[in-house]
Amino acid sequence: MKRIKNTSSELSPESDDRILVADDNAVMRKKLVMELTNNAFTVVGQARSGVEALRLAQRDNPSLMLLDLDMPLMEGLSTLRRLQEVCPNLPVLVYSMLNASVYSYRCLRLGARGYIRKSDGLSLIVSAVSQVLQGQMLFLSHPTGEASDELSDDEIIVLRCLVRGGNIDSIAAALMISAAEAAQLHQRLNAKLSLFTHQELIHFGKGLTLS
């Protein structure tokens, strides 16, 4: 991953950059808003789900969206895909606790401008926001060759929904498809991974989580 410089002290106090924060964790949103505001950014909205993030992105015309991947109603990967349709010019910086070696390259393919870890800390997240707004890309350079590389984005989203305790209905909502289509996707994933129980899928999905 490209090294992130700590450039927050170089931000102009007259910055007009408008940031939309999308994270279902209220404590994390509050910390991010405070850090961004202290570094001269304007936070124009806070979204608690992918669905809300799409709505606010279209309504508030932000300069950049700071997007957590692991959210309810619509997973981050699905949100990224929809953003390419409704707000194709909006820079998106993904920050997540999920395994960067699994998710970073997928986010790049779906149009994000960067992927950083929440564990990098608030100051480096703000620095990354500044760098992405300046046109830089912050990513792992290539896929890892792991088994997860063989899964489609939709299949990864199914796993994330299951790990969060979701069911066929939540998978359908996350992917904006019918329950019947979600059930078929679930079955195909079982067969593809040669896993035959719900718990086995969840266990496999949890293995894709930690960085």
Say which residue, 46 or 200, is predicted with more confidence.
46
pLDDT at 119 over 80: yes
Find residue 210's DSSP bridge partners. 98
The topology (CATH level 3) of 147-206 is: Arc Repressor Mutant, subunit A (1.10.10)
Count of residues for the chain? Answer: 211
Pick the most confident of 34-38, 105-109, 138-142: 34-38
List beta partners, residue 95: 68, 116
Q: What is the pLDDT of residue 142?
A: 53
Q: Which one of 3.30.9.90, 3.40.50.2300, 3.30.830.10, 1.10.10.10 gives the CATH number of domain 8-133?
A: 3.40.50.2300
Averaged pLDDT, 29-43 = 95
Identify which of 67, 65, 87, 84 has the alpha carbon closest to the alpha carbon of residue 24: 67
Q: Which amino acid is at 12?
A: S
**Model confidence at 201, in pLDDT bands (50, 70, 90)?**
confident
Instruction: Enumerate the domain spans of the chain.
Output: 8-133, 147-206
| DSSP symbol at 89 | T
**pLDDT 10s digits, 163-199:** 888 899 999 988 889 999 999 999 999 888 888 788 8
Average the pLDDT over 1-18 and give the result. Answer: 54
* Closest C-alpha among 154, 173, 184 to residue 72: 173
Residues 29 and 23: beta-carbon distance below 8 Å: yes
